[in-house]
């Protein structure tokens, strides 16, 4: 099951490709890199990019929990403006959905969490995004945690506990993971040190 239509609005639809194994740990669970892709702008520079990580035994087409890195080089350099835009899209997509925003004045990072669902669906999707400026100053990067929740699976108190725990966890998660990941994919380190070779991403389509 793919992300709800909101995700397609936030990130242009691009084919995703199989990638070398890499992993992240979030909320004491291990996620392996399953798919990645990066668009190319007309001037040849790297465009929007994504890397999706799944739990063992799950895939990007069938998951209960998912972690992802995103790069938005043309999105501006204001994390707060980015999460406010996400919140607006959440409400436009589902007027009954709610969201909350947390900012960190010291780091300049901004977090948004929300619970939404598609019409007539029995599965809700809980999301937490953290936005920050990219390492090279070109736009923003984000980290995302998503979880599918079946109706009746978690009560109100359980949802509150889930939100508190995952937002707190995302607040402490090092955004440098995403910054470095995309910097290396552009053939340079986070410090802009040139690499000898620039990685090439294979491209393979997949159905949503």
Number of domains in the chain: 1
Average pLDDT over residues 137-153: 94
Q: Enter the pTM of the model.
A: 0.79
For residue 208, is it within any domain?
no
Residue 68: pLDDT band by 50, 70, 90 thresholds?
very high
191 domain-assigned: no
Burial of 58 (C-beta count, 10 Å sphere; 0-12/13-18/19+): middle
In a domain, 195, yes or no: no
Residue range 73-129, pLDDT digits in tens: 999 999 999 999 999 999 999 999 999 999 999 999 999 999 999 988 999 999 999
In a domain, 196, yes or no: no
**Does residue 172 fall inside a structural domain?**
yes
| pLDDT tens digit sequence for 175-184 | 999 999 998 8
Query: Model confidence over 9-46: pLDDT tens digits?
Result: 444 333 334 444 489 999 999 999 999 988 877 777 77
Is 156 a domain residue? yes
In a domain, 100, yes or no: yes
For residue 187, the model assigns a pLDDT of: 66
Domain that holds residue 129: 5-185
Provide the pLDDT for residue 138: 86
How far is C-alpha 92 from the geometric centre of its chain's CA atoms?
20
Looking up residue 31, the CATH number of its domain turns out to be 3.40.1000
**Separation CA 147–CA 18 (nearest Å):** 22
Higher-scoring residue by pLDDT: 195, 137: 137
pLDDT value of position 19: 41
User: In the predicted model, what is the mean pLDDT of residues 55-83?
Assistant: 95
**Cα–Cα distance between 110 and 84 in angstroms, integer?**
9
What is the average pLDDT value for the chain, to the nearest integer?
82
202 domain-assigned: no
């Amino acid at each position: 099951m793919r992300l709800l239509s909101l995700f397609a609005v936030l990130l242009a639809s691009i084919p995703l490709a199989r990638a070398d194994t890499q992993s992240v740990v979030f909320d004491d669970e291990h996620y392996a890199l399953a798919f990645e892709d990066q668009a190319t702008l007309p001037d040849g520079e790297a465009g929007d990019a994504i890397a999706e990580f799944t739990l063992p035994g799950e895939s990007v087409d069938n998951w209960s929990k998912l972690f992802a890195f995103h790069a938005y080089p043309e999105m501006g350099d204001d994390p707060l403006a980015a999460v406010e835009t996400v919140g607006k899209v959440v409400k436009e997509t589902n007027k009954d959905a709610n969201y909350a925003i947390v900012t960190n004045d010291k780091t300049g990072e901004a977090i948004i969490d929300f619970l939404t669902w598609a019409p007539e669906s029995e599965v809700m999707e809980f999301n937490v995004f953290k936005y920050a400026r990219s390492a090279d100053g070109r736009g923003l990067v984000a980290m995302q945690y998503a979880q599918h929740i079946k109706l009746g699976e978690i009560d109100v108190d359980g949802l509150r506990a889930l939100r508190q725990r995952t937002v707190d966890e995302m607040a402490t998660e090092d955004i440098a993971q995403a910054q470095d990941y995309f910097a290396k994919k552009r053939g340079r380190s986070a410090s802009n040190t040139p690499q000898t070779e620039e990685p090439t991403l294979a491209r393979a389509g997949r159905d949503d």
